Amino acid sequence: MEKNYAPEVEARLRAECAEIVARYPVSRSALMPILHLVQSVDGFVSPRGIVLAADVLGLTRSEVSAVATFYSQYRRHPNGEYNVGVCTNALCAVMGGDVIWDALSKYLGVGSDETTEDGKITLERLECNAGCDYAPVVMVNWEFFDNQTPESAKKIVDDLRAGRDVRPTRGADKVCTFKEVSRVLAGFEDGRADEGPGAGEASLAGLKVARDKGWTAPQPMGGAQ
């Protein structure tokens, strides 16, 4: 990777950084989306991206790096085109997450936070995908794939590596690339927010029971405000 951005790329990035900064009353609050913007171009928080963010926001490179190394969605080395996260925490592990992890790691020949030689897949061992009602869950670029098995997880990575469209269980109609998702996380909409179901039947089961039985949340002392 070149040490500096091409002039036309840097000009575009600076213009988009200015757009991001304008959303906030304090400019340094724009740092996190700007780091996602850097990842949408470089595929990770690159040294040149850190220099750019620091210059735009009037921060030191150390201040920018401190944020980039704290949050797990920021990568400090090139990420694969698709980030495949396997939950191995509590319920997912009991329901088969550990088995899926072992199978995928062996199948792809990589461990956690490692990328396949073709640059397509970065495998990540996750603590929780916040989808326990559909355990075991795999996420691809933070899109849900529910009730997985080793065989279904292998098919997902096979399709991704072959360039075939892959549709998550919930959310967008297809999985976007890591760079495309990073741009959305930077705050630039891709027009796909309303695609697919946001919640499935299992997630809404408790709400249905509460409505059927007329249950409501307790009111604060003194009545509703």
Judge if 107 and 144 occupy the same domain: yes
pLDDT value at residue 196: 82
pTM of the model as a whole: 0.89
| CA pair distance 160, 154, nearest whole angstrom | 10
CATH of the domain at 134: 3.40.30.10
What is the mean pLDDT for each group of 10 consecutive residues in the chain (225 residues)? 92 98 97 98 98 98 97 95 95 94 98 97 93 94 95 98 95 94 96 83 89 91 61
Burial of 23 (0-12, 13-18, 19+ CB in 10 A): exposed
Structural domain count of the chain: 2
| CA pair distance 172, 170, nearest whole angstrom | 7
220 within a domain of the structure (yes/no): no
Judge if 90 and 174 occupy the same domain: yes
Please, what is the end-to-end C-alpha distance for the chain in angstroms? 57
Q: Which of 192, 146, 150 is CA-nearest to residue 173? A: 192
pLDDT value at residue 137: 96
pLDDT value at residue 79: 97
Q: Give the domain range for residue 54.
A: 7-68
pLDDT value at residue 224: 52
Judge if 43 and 96 occupy the same domain: no
Question: Does residue 136 have a cis bond before it (omega within 30 degrees)?
Answer: yes
198 within a domain of the structure (yes/no): no
pLDDT value at residue 203: 86
184 within a domain of the structure (yes/no): no
pLDDT value at residue 200: 81
Chain centroid, CA 201 distance in Å: 23
